[in-house]
Structure formats: C-alpha cells, structure tokens
Structure 1
C-alpha cells in the first residue's frame, strides 16, 4: 500500500513538473517544485514511519528517526510557503508527529499514525495543482 502511494506521489510530481513548467513563471515554478519535492520526501518519511511502527518491537529507535526526518521536512516546507492550506496541513502533520512521539515516549508499541498519514496526504494534495 505504501508503495502504491509512493508511486502515485511520483506520478503526481511528474505531472506537476510538466504542468508548472508550461504554465507559470520561473520563481513560481521553483517554489512549486520545492513544495512537490518536500511533499514527496514527507511521503517517503511517512512510509518509513509506517514500516518502523509495524516493526517497533525489533527496533524502537526507527520510529523516532522517522519522526525526526518528518520534522526536518516540515521545517523546510514551512520555511518556503505562504499558502494557507499548506500551512494548515503542515500544522496538522506537526501535531500528528507530536502525538505519535508522545505515544512512543509513553511506551505505546503501536501508536496511531492515522493523523500523520492523513495530513501527509493533504500536503500531497495541496502541492499538486
């Protein structure tokens, strides 16, 4: 399932690149491409988080590392956007990451990552024209 989601994201990235190159000025294209690249990186990080949570008993540090990577990508994206919808999706994803991190810190072996995946999906939608 994560593989299909990643494939859809990659397809959306390609379509976005073609559309934006033809329709928008260079500055706007660069900003949109940054959004798409970051959304793709977030999708990859969320996929890694899903994998890490499913194997948390083997190596509990993997989930924390995945959350750290999502935090980094969110900071990069938050620094480059003035889009209200994207800012809300970033805030929602950050809240989800915080909740998952808190659950892990409390010893929850299988934290609910649904808010994280939902917010990441929303970021993908916002970054795709």
Structure 2
C-alpha cells in the first residue's frame, strides 16, 4: 500500500511538471535600459566611424517594449524575435525592420537584417550601457 501511495505521488508530481504553461519570451534583462551611441556606420564603406567623444545619442529599450532615444528615433517599439533578432516597428505602426543583435558585457551591436540589410563588415550601430 505504501508503495502504491509513493508511486501515485510521484506520478502526480511528474504530471504537474509536464503540464507547465508556456510563457511569452521574457525581455532580455541585459537589453533593457539606456544605451549610449559609440559607433555608427551607415555610409556603406564597411569601416566603423567612431564617435569621439560620444554624442548625446542614445537608444533606450523599455521593459514594456517601447523605444526612446535619438538614435533610430523613427522606431517606437521593439519585440525580441529570437536570441539574435530584434524587430523594430516604426512610428507609422506598420513598417518594421529586423536587427541582428549581440550583447557582450556592456556593449550592444545592432546590424540591419531585413528588409534593409547590411552587407559590409562592421556595418551597424554600436552602443555601451549607460549608467
């Protein structure tokens, strides 16, 4: 009888663990916050153009999915599509742009990835986390 009770309890625990609800992907905590612009390459040469000293340009990822800032300021919101892709939505609520992103320590790299693509090495936007 004790064995039957133990087996029943284990079966119930396994059933509860297996029926866990899927949740929406959480916003990457390291992505949220204010990022100071450091480098911007949009001239098509592929050579990074370092902003020295850094301009007041910034991009802020809010936890509710909205964007603020003076860099890429024609976009108002973002969604994390997967581990490497962000989808920005423009102020017109219909135009979207994908950006490949990487975060290494306190550095963020954004590279256009469709419909506008960046084919040059080093092309994109580079930021450091603001305090």
In which range does the TM-score fall when normalised by the shorter chain?
under 0.3
Q: Structure 1 or 2: larger strand share?
A: 2
Higher-RCO chain (CA-CA 8 Å, sequence separation at least 6): 1
Hey, which of these two has a bigger chunk of helix by percent? 1
Task: State the TM-score, normalizing by the size of structure 1.
Answer: 0.25
